[in-house]
Amino acid sequence: MNLDPNTLYNILMLAIVVALIVYLYLESRPRKPQREEYVTRVLLKCTSCGYRIERDFEAGDFIGLEKGKCPKCGGATKITGIYAVEKSKVLKPQ
């Protein structure tokens, strides 16, 4: 049996397409399900008594912004830190 160059070329192209589909399928599969999720938190500190509170990050938050009131003395609280924490650690009771 003699294959002409056109048929060989078609077979080769088909093999490449199949390989590409398999590759894309493997790439699109969900990654390890136990991967940690992160949430952004802000640390608020009372300017009067130093009491610290941690909250979820909200749009527009930045370090130095005065936001909310201290539950202990009623003084203004200021954002002193913004950071990402593992979700499981936030939900864990302290």
- Closest contact distance (angstroms) between CB of 52 and Zn ion is 10
Compare residues 19 and 73 and give the one whose CB is closer to Zn ion.
Answer: 73
Half-sphere exposure of 88 (CA within 13 A, CB side): 4
Compare residues 39 and 45 and give the one whose CB is closer to Zn ion.
Answer: 45
- Closest contact distance (angstroms) between CB of 43 and Zn ion is 14
- Closest contact distance (angstroms) between CB of 73 and Zn ion is 3
The residues that touch Zn ion, with contacts defined as CB under 5 A, are 46, 48-49, 51, 70, 72-73, 75
Compare residues 41 and 78 and give the one whose CB is closer to Zn ion.
Answer: 78
